[in-house]
Structure 1
């Protein structure tokens, strides 16, 4: 069971963009240095965030990436869904048992379908209760704590 690292990298980028708003031209190279991820990965994540309407980018002299929405209106689920759209449907997967003669093997996927759906729904609901604004506030508390 795993939530993709792309989500934490995306949140990192969004917090960085918020913190540097109006003071720094945010590029994939700069985000790459901050996150430790290669620029191609950052470009892929930023493309997904842009497609989801969470960031916008401008080319040229001023250029750079900015938030497209107020952080209070962006949930952790919005970010996760942008970078891993089908992820929660695959949060917990059943091993491949197709074609087995064992009755448990033939039925285990059906047995687990509902509990696994409930787990994915609970994760989705929890992620919808966390906003980017809350994450930025938490970042500020961590900074203040030293």
Structure 2
């Protein structure tokens, strides 16, 4: 399993926005230079973060800014804003054979494990805020 890079790019972008928004207009081009990603990818992330109510983006080259208090934005908020998981993190194959002893029981024996793993991830991400991460940045 691998979660896409959107999540870590979004966290990187948010930290960049917070750190540099007082010094300059934080544009997708500037964030792209820091992340090594294409500015188009950063603009898409900005749209997702804006739709989630985490940032505001000024039209043109106005730049981005975080609109919530940094101690209110959790990693779970960022994850949910940019990852395209519906409700379940783990996708299940479409048609297990119900006539097979494994296929007929796979949901019963595996669903609870997957739900517990997802809850554990969400609980951990819920514990860390942007403020927490800002405190870990070098001065």
TM-score (norm 2): 0.89
Q: What is the total number of aligned residue pairs between the two structures?
A: 139
CA RMSD of aligned residues (A): 1.9
CA contact (8 A) 1:56 1:67 kept: yes
CA contact (8 A) 1:81 1:87 kept: no
Deviation at 1:110, TM superposition (A): 2.7
Deviation at 1:105, TM superposition (A): 2.3
Give 1:129's aligned residue.
Answer: 127
Q: Does 1:56 align with 2:56?
A: yes
Identify the structure with the greater helix proportion.
1
How many Å separate the matches in 1 of 2:78 and 2:52? 8
Gaps of 5+ in 1: none
Q: Does 1:12 align with 2:33?
A: no
TM-score (norm 1): 0.85
CA contact (8 A) 1:74 1:131 kept: yes
**Which stretch has the larger CA shift, 40-49 or 81-90?**
81-90
Gaps of 5+ in 2: none
CA contact (8 A) 2:46 2:57 kept: no
Give 1:99's aligned residue.
Answer: 97
SS state of the match for residue 77, structure 2? helix
